[in-house]
A and B are shown apart, each in its own frame.
Chain A
Amino acid sequence: MGKEMHPTPMLDQLEDGPWPSFITGIKRLAKKNDMMVDLLGQLEHSYETRKGYWKGGTVGVIGYGGGVIPRFSEIASAFPESKEFHTIRIQPPAGMHYDSAVMRKLCDVWDEFGSGLIAFHGQSGDIMFQGITSDNVQPAFDVINEMGFDMGGAGPAVRTGMSCVGSARCEQSCCDEQEILRSLVNNFLDDMHRPALPYKMKFKVSGCPNDCMNAIERADFAVIGTWRDDIKVDQDAIKAFIADKGRDYVANNVISRCPTNAIALNEDDTVTIENRNCVRCMHCINVMTKGLSVGDDTGITILIGGKRTLKIGDLMGTVVVPFMKVDTEEGIEKVVELAEEVIDFFAENALEHERTGEMIERIGLVNFLEGVGVDVDPNMVAEPRQSSYFRGDGWDEAAKEWYANKAERAS
Chain B
Amino acid sequence: MSAPRMPDETGVPEPFQYMHPTMKENYGKWAWHDRPRPGVLHHVAQSGDEIWTVKFGTQRQMDTATITKICDIADEFADGFFRFTMRSNVEMMVADQSKVDPLIAKLGEEGFPVGGTGNSVSMISHTQGWLHCDIPGTDASGVVKAMMDLLHEDFIKEDMPNRVHITTSCCQINCGGQGDIAINIQHTKPPKINHELVANACERPTVVARCPVAAIRPAMVDGRPSLEVDEKKCICCGACFPPCPPMQINDSEHSKLAIWIGGNHSNARSKPSFQKLVAAGIPNNPPRWPEAGSIVKKILATYKEDAKGWERINDWVERIGWPRFFELTGLPFTKYHVDNWRGARHSLNSSTHIRF
Contact = CB atoms under 8 A, between A and B. Distances in A.
Q: Is chain B found bound to chain A in the same assembly?
A: yes
22 contacts: A14-B142, A17-B148, A18-B113, A50-B255, A55-B134, A92-B84, A93-B13, A100-B75, A100-B81, A119-B88, A123-B127, A125-B86, A145-B7, A169-B23, A176-B28, A178-B15, A214-B178, A289-B32, A311-B212, A312-B212, A312-B342, A353-B209
A111 interface: yes
A267 B263 CA distance: 37
A390 interface: no
A97 B64 contact: no
A141 B8 CA distance: 11
Interface stretch (B217-225, B284-292, B327-335): B284-292
Given A209-B267, A286-B268, A353-B206, 19 more contacts: A17-B149, A18-B152, A23-B145, A29-B63, A52-B129, A52-B130, A54-B132, A92-B84, A93-B15, A95-B83, A107-B64, A119-B60, A130-B132, A145-B10, A150-B13, A182-B14, A210-B266, A290-B32, A314-B178
B74 interface: yes
Nearest to B252: A50
A316 to B, nearest CB: 6
A170 to B, nearest CB: 6
A51 interface: yes
| Nearest 7 interchain pairs by C-beta | A17-B149, A25-B63, A186-B11, A100-B71, A50-B252, A171-B30, A46-B130
B84 A25 contact: no
A198 to B, nearest CB: 12
Contacts of B268: 209-210, 281-283, 286
Contacts of A217: 177-178, 263, 265, 272, 274
Nearest to B275: A314
Contacts of A283: 268-269, 310
Given A14-B146, A55-B245, A182-B11, A281 B269 contact: yes
B287 A61 contact: no
B6 A63 contact: yes
Contacts of B206: 352-353
A5 B34 CA distance: 48
B252 A47 contact: no
A96 interface: yes
A215 B86 CA distance: 12
A151 B86 contact: no
B112 A43 contact: no
Interface in A298-345: 308-314, 316
B134 to A, nearest CB: 5
A253 B137 CA distance: 41
Contact of A62 (B5, B12, B72, B138): B5
A359 interface: no
B62 A119 contact: yes
B286 A50 contact: yes
Interface string A171-189: 1010010100110011001
A252 interface: yes
B83 A28 contact: no
Contacts of A18: 113, 149, 152
Contacts of A94: 12-15
Most chain A CB atoms below 10 A, which of B6, B74, B75, B83: B83
Interface stretch (A159-167, A269-277, A370-378, A400-408): A159-167
Contacts of A97: 15, 18-20, 23, 81-83
Contacts, number: 356
A87 interface: yes
B131 interface: yes
Contacts of B324: none
Interface stretch (B97-105, B168-176, B187-195, B348-356): B168-176
Nearest to B28: A167
A103 interface: yes
A62 B18 CA distance: 28
Contacts of B64: 29, 107, 110-111, 116, 118
A405 to B, nearest CB: 27
A268 interface: no
B25 to A, nearest CB: 11
B131 A211 contact: no
B67 interface: yes
B93 A56 contact: no
Nearest to B78: A100
